[in-house]
């Protein structure tokens, strides 16, 4: 099929001329497994992913903006940037504060941008975005994301390059909320391939790397229970295929699983106990693969230096891949 399939519109007057807040809906479908993924034009976000009617991630209506970063691409930085301020190559920059309570700039600049459609079929969609330089981030990047559906699994790849004439700081992350199914999060079990914990301060900014505290040790699957989690994990381990996994198993015995290859080596996990969108609290478990942890623009920890167009001062192109699967 040459073009994207559109989600049926609710009776709210949406049209191609007047799309919903999330923009056009690109639907991928595998008939053999009855797997369906919906990717939005706005943010190139993964709005829903189901297999045979079972949610792999927590979804939200196309008429709403993503309530808590649901399915978002987080670039050119994931997580929090302290005070929205940083210095790069001797120049200081100030970004708008988007998380007022903690005085941070949160989750980058691309979640509310309309991405351009580059290619679509029934099982794959490719979207791209050329970012506009702003005062706090005066570089133009070209980002391309590919969503590929294969059976009960979905793979996501993002390419990033710098179109400007000077090196740019860069990081990327992703924000799916794994679904526990019809049972509650408290009764689900969770495991994560990580052996180290990033201790946060009161603003959830990194203080240091430590051994896992007992209540956050999910190396072996155990019940989530009432544990309140909003933490970063490193020291990740990988299977024989080079993949690191997070697995959330519901009371139905099905497992919403997320993986990343060696292009990313940090995880952020969040139970959503304190979301502003109260109705979404503890409705899923955010398990976020990231190329760097919070405040990387200031700490330099795992920060990517994107080379200018045609230049060699940094990485010419940054590529990451991760995916989801129902087990």
49-83 per-position pLDDT tens digit? 999 999 999 999 888 888 889 999 999 999 999 99
81 vs 295: CA distance, rounded Å: 4
* Residue 91, C-beta contacts closer than 8 angstroms, at least 6 positions apart: none
152: helix, strand or coil: coil
Q: Residue written as tokens 């700039």? A: 105
43 vs 175: CA distance, rounded Å: 12
145 vs 152: CA distance, rounded Å: 20
Q: For residue 14, what pLDDT band results from cuts at 50, 70 and 90?
A: low
- Which percentage of the chain shows pLDDT scores above 90? 87
User: What pLDDT does 20 receive?
Assistant: 85
271-283 per-position pLDDT tens digit? 999 888 888 889 9
Average pLDDT of every residue of the chain = 94
The CATH number corresponding to 5-325 among 3.90.70.10, 2.70.98.10, 3.20.20.70, 3.90.330.10 equals 2.70.98.10
DSSP 8-state class, residue 297 = H
The whole-model pTM stands at: 0.94
User: What pLDDT does 66 receive?
Assistant: 86
User: What pLDDT does 15 receive?
Assistant: 67
309: helix, strand or coil: coil
User: What pLDDT does 108 receive?
Assistant: 98
DSSP string, 200-220: E-TTS-EEEEEEPPGGG--SS
Tokens for 3?
């073009």
Q: Of 292, 316, 282, 322, which is closest to residue 108 (Cα–Cα)?
A: 292
90-112 per-position pLDDT tens digit? 999 999 999 999 999 999 999 99
Tokens for 323?
């995916």
Q: For residue 295, what pLDDT band results from cuts at 50, 70 and 90?
A: very high
166-210 per-position pLDDT tens digit? 999 999 999 999 999 998 999 999 999 999 999 999 999 999 999
Q: For residue 1, what pLDDT band results from cuts at 50, 70 and 90?
A: very low
The bridge status of strand 35-40 relative to strand 25-30 is antiparallel
- Rg, the chain, Cα only: 19
DSSP string, 158-207: EEEEE-SSS-EEE--EEE-EE--TTS-GGG-EEEE-EEEEEEE-TTS-EE
**Average pLDDT score over residue span 252-265:** 98
237: helix, strand or coil: coil
pLDDT higher than 50, residue 3: no
């Amino acid at each position: 099929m040459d073009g994207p399939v559109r989600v049926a519109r609710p009776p709210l007057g949406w049209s191609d001329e007047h799309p919903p807040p999330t923009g056009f809906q690109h639907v991928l479908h595998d008939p053999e497994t009855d797997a369906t993924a919906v990717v939005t034009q706005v943010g190139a976000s993964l709005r829903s992913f189901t297999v045979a009617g079972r949610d792999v991630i927590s979804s939200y209506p196309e008429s709403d903006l993503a309530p808590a970063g649901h399915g978002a691409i987080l670039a050119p930085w994931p997580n929090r940037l302290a005070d929205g301020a940083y210095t790069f190559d001797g120049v200081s920059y100030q970004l708008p504060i988007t998380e007022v309570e903690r005085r941070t700039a949160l989750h980058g600049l691309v979640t509310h941008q309309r991405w351009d459609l580059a290619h679509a079929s029934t099982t794959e969609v490719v979207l791209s975005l050329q970012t506009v330089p702003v005062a706090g981030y005066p570089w133009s990047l070209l980002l391309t994301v590919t969503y590929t559906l294969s059976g009960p699994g979905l793979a996501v790849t993002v390419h990033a390059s710098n179109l400007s004439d000077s090196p740019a700081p860069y990081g990327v992350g992703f924000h799916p909320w794994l679904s526990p199914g019809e049972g509650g999060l408290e009764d689900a079990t969770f495991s994560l391939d990580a052996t180290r914990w990033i201790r946060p301060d009161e603003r959830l900014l990194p203080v240091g790397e430590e051994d896992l505290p007992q209540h956050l040790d999910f190396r072996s699957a155990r019940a989530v229970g009432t544990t309140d989690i909003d933490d970063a994990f490193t020291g990740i381990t990988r299977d024989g295929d080079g993949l690191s996994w997070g697995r959330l198993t519901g009371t139905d015995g099905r497992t919403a699983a997320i993986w990343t290859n060696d292009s990313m080596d940090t995880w952020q996990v969040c139970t959503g106990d304190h979301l502003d969108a109260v109705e979404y609290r503890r409705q899923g478990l955010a398990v976020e693969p990231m190329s760097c942890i919070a405040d990387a623009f200031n700490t330099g920890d795992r920060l990517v230096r994107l080379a200018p167009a045609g230049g060699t001062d940094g990485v010419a192109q940054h590529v990451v891949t991760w995916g989801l699967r129902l087990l």
